[in-house]
Amino acid sequence: MTNLTEKDFFFCFTKKLSIYLKEEGISYIIKARSIKDNAIYTVYHKTDELQRALDKYKKLTR
């Protein structure tokens, strides 16, 4: 069994990016609210598919 760490997850605090990922067919694991500043964020498992979508998003928003 593999132990998961924080490095295995992508924490998204940007609503626009979260919507984009959903449109790309990538689902978050959990949606939560930060205790620190009450901001809503989503958490994704890091995968090659997620990385490709993040790379694509980065190119689109330059």
> pLDDT value at position 20?
98
In a domain, 55, yes or no: yes
Pair 12, 22: CB distance under 8 Å: no
- Has residue 2 been placed in a domain? no
Instruction: Copy the structure tokens of residue 45.
Output: 């498992």
Is 27 inside any structural domain? yes
Q: What range does the domain containing 51 cover?
A: 8-60
Residue 56 domain-assigned (yes or no): yes
Residue 1 inside a domain? The answer is no
Q: Which two tokens mark 60?
A: 């689109």
Domain annotation covers residue 13 = yes
Residue 30, burial from CB neighbour count under 10 angstroms (0-12, 13-18, 19+): exposed
Answer for the pair 12, 42: CB distance below 8 angstroms, yes or no.
yes
Average of per-residue pLDDT across 5-24: 97
* Structural domain count, the chain: 1
**Domain membership flag for residue 3:** no
Q: Specify if 41 maps to a domain.
A: yes
**pLDDT tens digit sequence for 22-57:** 999 999 999 999 999 999 999 999 999 999 999 999
Cα–Cα distance measured from residue 60 to residue 62, given in angstroms and rounded to the nearest whole number: 6
